[in-house]
Homo-oligomer: A and B are copies of this chain.
Amino acid sequence: MKITGKQIIGYTKVNGGPDSFKSAIAVDEKSGPYIFEEGSAENVDQAAKKANKAFKIYKLLPVADRVKFLEAITSEINSIRDTLVSTGMQETYLPQPRLNGEVDRTINQINSFVSLLKEGSWVNAIIDTAKPDRQPLPKPAISQMLRPLGPVAVFGASNFPFAFSVAGGDTISALAAGCPVVYKAHFGHPVTSELVGNCIIEAAKKTGMPDGVFSLIQGKSTESGKALVSHPLIKAVGFTGSLTGGRALFDLAVKRDEPIPVYAEMGSVNPVFLLPGMLKDDAVGIAKSLVASNTLGVGQFCTNPGVILMVKGAESEQFLTQYVSSLTATAGGSMLTESIFNAYAKGISELESSQSLESMGSGIAGNSNTATPYAFKVSGADFLKDRSLFEEHFGPVALHVIADDIAQLLEIAETIPGQLTTGIWANQNDVVEFKELFNILEEKAGRLMINNVPTGVEVTHAMQHGGPYPATTDSRSTSVGSQAIYRFVRPVCYQNFPQELLPPELQNRNPLNIWRKVDGEITKDAVA
């Protein structure tokens, strides 16, 4: 494994700026850690210019060529998958089965975009035929389809070194859409990032993609990221991380002479509502499921159920008792980075010192760098008084909110800020009795679920991994599932064009055999 610690600017490894940072893992037993050069504003400019040049070619390639490129990325990743998993384990402390599964997920994601491109209808082709005899003026032929925005900046996440990182959903959906990507690697796993970056570059070379279709900037400082979002040739941003980080990038992007869309997937506490009937039916089972979901992967999922709400009563008591019992039998683990662990520890001590919260217990403590799972509880009245209790604590901790009655539970539901997900545990009676709660929650999240834990985000067409602010900066978008491609395109309309100048998707004979909307009707038929 040869790691350069350099910037990957298209097909060239380039020196970074004067600063550098160390990886968490060592080169070998004798040597020190890998040294990574900090990507500079100049590197960002090189990458953006190459990306823009590549865009002029890439956007015009037949869709079959983009498919070959994406498929080649999966081959390259598969060819070094053992190295990737073992490196990822060392850099992120995530266990082998989890990372193996994550590589599978990454490949599945790529394949789902391959299917989408092959099927082809995603471009939303709309054709309104000419009406030369219309009075008072003839109607020209007008058609539209989605076209790529241009070079896209992608910021990798700490908690998914593969599926939300270099060849993750953001990068792949942008490449699938026809947009080159300038990728800013997360400093938590720079070695893994360089390895996956090499895979994309190899795939691009082997399939004849233009130099600059992908670049990778390393860096622990935020400077290169700021330069990237501010660069005039960058046309959109994908990000997964904290509210602070996402909002900072958003603020930069909207201040530009030409503002650009920022798709930042940020914090979420994913409130879970436990309704009385369902609690009566299965308090023990629900408690076990929620402890498992809250502590999975040391609680480092954006869909972690961080706030659990219920009405006080015998069922809730039974649930809480089981929750504590399961929690105390659950071990924590090493977190992704030292800074994430420190933030978690600080958060826990703040919660412990809060006047209104009561500690319910904790899981099995490990060594000093291991995050221990925790749970706290608070009354509905106190919860309503303190907006800060909606803030995410990244890690294995849950806050249980005990409302006085259903009215207070609904009042709390109304005050929930935007979330990625919200869940309800309800039996058949609850569903009828608490219809109002569903109507309230529909406005609060991108994904609603019943009797399911929020962790385990399916990669599927109907997935919506997004939600109202502050869960994301753009509730109209998703960062998981095939709909993620729509973040990086815009409609372009062609009026009175001769057939030979139209993209194949819009030509009368429908050479790609895709579903289109022709004069208002959904059809695969050719236009007469």
Contacts and interface: CB of A to CB of B under 8 A. Distances in A.
Of A139, A491, A519, chain B has the most CB atoms within 10 Å of the CB of: A491
Nearest to A440: B56
Of A137, A139, A461, chain B has the most CB atoms within 10 Å of the CB of: A461
Interface string A462-503: 111010111001111010000100000111111111101100
A517 interface: yes
Interface residues of A, number: 72
A128 B254 contact: no
B60 A448 contact: no
Given A137-B456, A442-B147, A490-B475, A520 B461 contact: yes
A439 B494 CA distance: 12
Nearest to A489: B476
A142 interface: yes
B258 A254 contact: no
Contacts of A137: 456
A270 to B, nearest CB: 12
A221 interface: no
A493 B126 contact: no
Interface in A90-138: 115, 119, 121, 126-128, 137
A462 B250 contact: no
Nearest to A251: B254
Number of copies: 2
B498 A462 contact: no
B464 A491 contact: yes
B462 A128 contact: yes
Given A60-B439, A418-B258, A495-B449, A142 B501 contact: no
Of A115, A119, A489, A492, chain B has the most CB atoms within 10 Å of the CB of: A492
A415 interface: no
Contact of A469 (B127, B258, B438, B456): B258
Given A258-B469, A522-B121, A522-B522, A494 B448 contact: yes
A475 B431 CA distance: 41
A495 B450 contact: yes
A489 to B, nearest CB: 7
A82 B449 CA distance: 53
A447 interface: yes
A159 B162 CA distance: 52
B496 A458 contact: no
A268 to B, nearest CB: 14
Interface string A241-265: 0000000001100100011010000
A462 B143 contact: yes
Nearest to A256: B469
Contacts of A450: 495-498, 501
B448 A492 contact: yes
B60 A463 contact: no
Interface of A: 56, 60, 115, 119, 121, 126-128, 137, 139-140, 142-144, 147, 149-150, 250-251, 254, 258-259, 261, 418, 428, 431, 438-439, 442-443, 445-452, 456, 458, 460-464, 466, 468-470, 473-476, 478, 483, 489-498, 500-501, 515, 517, 519-520, 522
Given A448-B492, A448-B495, 11 more contacts: A142-B460, A150-B443, A445-B492, A446-B492, A447-B493, A447-B494, A448-B494, A450-B497, A450-B501, A464-B491, A468-B490
